[in-house]
Amino acid sequence: MKQEDHLVPIQDTCNQKCIFCSSWGNQNTTEFPDIIRMIIKKDNYIQISGGEPLLNKDVFKVIKFIRKYKPWTYIEFQTNGVLLLKNNNLDKLIEQKVDLYNINWPCHIDTVTDAIVWVPNTSLPRELAMKEVIAKWEKLRINIIINKLNYPYLEAMIDYIQDNFSGLDRIQLSFVKAMWAAQWAKDVIPTYEEASPFIIKFLEKAKKYNIRADIDHIPLCFLWDFYQNHVDYMKIKDHLPWVHLTEKWYIDKCKDCKLKKYCSGYRKDYLDLYKEGNDAKVYGKWVDYNIWHIINIFPKNEFYGVLYGLKTVSYRWISEREIKKNKEKIDELFNQHNLIYDILKDKDWNHIIIYSKERKYIDDFLESYEKKDNFSIQCGYLLGYPNCCIWTEDGKWVWDSVSIAFNNSQKLNYKLNSIFHYGGRWFVEKLQWISSKEVITEGFSLLNYQPCSYDCEKSIEYAEKMEKILEKEDPKYLDLIYQKTKKNYLYFNPENRISLENINIETKQEIRIFEWILTKKNLIDIMDQSYFIEKKGEIIKLYDKNDKNIKEFTIGKWGGELRSKRVCPGVQGESPSGERRCPEVKEILYIEFNK
């Protein structure tokens, strides 16, 4: 995931004027509704940032919203620390269960700090706040931006940290970027060569003191034996995507470097500033081994399915704009994994990318698609679905396969949960009648299809094979799948479903929503008002904050045909069968998977 996907900048002003400020000139939104729209598009890691986020009057309201509606989220709070002890701000953040406090610390020398932040007398309140974070057993990460004013003091700074901030979680060293306020500023940005010896001494002392110290935005070759402390090394080694990997380039001297496998090269903004000896030629960009993360097109469960032979072919709907934007990356992805692909232009969906290990399977898919006759059945065979799980209705996709699978099940195995698998999710903004935005994400499921039942033996066999593949290839992605599949669900129809954090709702408890797709205005309003949930026999009851019963739903079982003639407003696009119907909400399924 790209770092920008984590950031939620809630304030465009600051109480400092740092010479390297990365928010300089930005116009970050400060309105609560706009911030909430950013938050609902994030995954399970959010960085609250600014400017200085404590200047936003709604900062605690924002975190409270995250904790209620995305309670699984890891919250990092980025601050300069100066306001942290004012107005009980730290205690309020602790009460909201912030996970990590990232405090920018310029230097231990007051005059140097004043010159960096351009505001006097910030050292004492910042350092008192840092000590208080540690004293309250909270996680502290000290962030040091290496610049021309502080790098000569790095060795003394790690000694000062050891003496004054024992118990911190870690240190993050970030070489200043030649961007924003620091663009073209050689009086702010040192060369890698001049800063490197001081960085090495800092890392040597950190190792001696048993303090974890990570570093970023400098090529690995300038770190000598400490290259494993580099953030890029960790990301590339663990196949983790990050937008900063795409901001860096190789130059001529990188060609034969033994560290190239784990290094993303020089920052492009640094090369623009220093020209790296004038004759250095940028010859290539580092390419992520898991590049589908970056381009957000190919769900990994489907990709691994083809790669390991669980299925012969797979495909992905994609717009013409995405093709043009990502063509080079797509080529690189398939070349790296010895796969071939073809692009089929489709009048409804713009394009379809079909990929496989062998050309003949792509040709079979294309032939089946062009004939259209009984396309779903032939496509299901090619995609490796078990015969019993090829959902068709007169040769077309079945609309409401979840409710049929539920009715077919004796037991509900979470490994077969693919309710929220699909790449397109609709996060609904409660502004107008319906305003939905499709966000392309990965498929978080061991399956890449909807099973005929949640105890289908053939599907369990497929899921367990995928589980073993992910244990080997990508255990962190597997953990994310477990997070999403071991949930309970309120399921109304394919376009209205809610995943709950609750383990059991037989007794009244606070609603904790994990994720949702809602397109019905009445449901959006109901969930917006609801605070508690309770299951009484076959009745689901929703209550507001004042314990007033605002809605009851009867749990009912339905099978198959719930289509309405009315096209659902606000939902973009159509299904492969040419239909995008919005069934009326009449009954509800409460689906609780076996953990």
Task: Please write the tens of the pLDDT for every residue from 39-59.
Answer: 877 778 899 998 899 999 999
CA angle 473/216/472 to nearest 5° reads 5
Contact 487, 463 (CB under 8 A): no
**Backbone conformation region of residue 217, classed left if phi is above 0, alpha if psi is from -120 to 50, else beta:** left
Task: Say if residue 242's pLDDT is above 50.
Answer: yes
The neighbour count for residue 56, using CB atoms within 10 Å, is 24
Closest Cα to residue 341, out of 373, 296, 307, 308? 307
Rounded average pLDDT over 322-348: 80
- Give 522-530's long-range contacts (Cβ < 8 A, gap of 24+): 522/585, 523/492, 523/496, 523/585, 524/428, 524/430, 525/430, 526/550, 526/551, 527/498, 528/430
Q: What would the mean pLDDT of 244-266 be, rounded to a whole number?
A: 77
Distances from the Cα of 477 to the Cαs of 7, 69, 566, in angstroms? 20, 22, 38
Distance CA 59, CA 397 (A): 45
Backbone angles phi and psi of 286, in degrees to 5: -65, 135
pLDDT for 25 beyond 70: no
The structure tokens 């809605």 sit at 551
Q: pTM score, two decimals?
A: 0.52
Q: How far apart are CA 183 and CA 531, in angstroms?
A: 48
Q: What is the Cα gyration radius of the chain?
A: 26
> Using 50, 70 and 90 to split pLDDT, how confident is the model at 372?
low
Digit-coded pLDDT (tens) for 129-163: 999 999 999 999 999 999 999 999 999 999 999 99
Distance between CA atoms of 96 and 100, rounded to whole angstroms?
12
318 φ, ψ (degrees, to nearest 5): -155, 145
Q: CA 21, CA 406: separation in Å to the nearest integer?
A: 53
CATH code at 3-238: 3.20.20.70
d(CA 498, CA 346): 32
Cα dihedral sign, 15-21-24-30 = negative
Q: Is pLDDT above 50 for 2?
A: no
- Please indicate whether residue 473 or residue 204 has the higher confidence score (pLDDT): 204
Q: What is the pLDDT of residues 180-231, one digit of tens each?
A: 666 657 778 899 989 999 999 999 999 999 999 999 999 998 998 898 999 8
Can you give the pLDDT at residue 342?
92
Torsion sign over Cα 219, 221, 223, 226: positive
Domain locations in the chain as residue ranges: 3-238, 295-384
For the chain, give the mean pLDDT: 78
Q: How many CB atoms lie within 10 A of CB 223?
A: 21
**Pairwise pLDDT comparison (552 vs 146), residue with the higher score:** 146
- The model's confidence at residue 441, banded by pLDDT at 50, 70 and 90, is very low
Nearest-angstrom CA–CA distance, 199 and 215: 9
**Nearest of 13, 25, 7 to residue 244 by alpha carbon:** 7
Beta-sheet strands, E only, within 115-227: 140-146, 170-175, 213-216
Mean pLDDT of 411-416: 92
Structure tokens that stand for 535 in this block: 């299951």
The SS3 of residue 78 is strand
Say how far apart CA 480 and CA 43 lie, in whole Å. 10
Kindly give, in sequence order, each residue whose CB lies less than 8 Å from that of residue 327, ignoring residues fewer than 6 positions away: none
CA distance 236 to 242: 9
Q: Which of 529, 463, 524, 530 is nearest to 497 (CA)?
A: 524
Lowest mean pLDDT, pick from 21-30, 80-89, 385-394, 461-470: 21-30
Instruction: Report, as an integer, the average pLDDT of 244-256.
Output: 74
Structure token pair of residue 473: 């290839």
Secondary structure of residue 293 in the 3-state scheme: helix
**For residue 570, what pLDDT is reported?**
31
DSSP H or E run through 112:
helix 110-117
Q: Where are the alpha helices (DSSP H) in 372-520?
A: 375-382, 401-407, 457-473, 475-485
- Sign of the Cα torsion 31, 37, 39, 42 reads negative
- The predicted-structure confidence for 61-92, as pLDDT tens digits, reads as follows 999 999 888 888 899 999 999 999 999 999 99
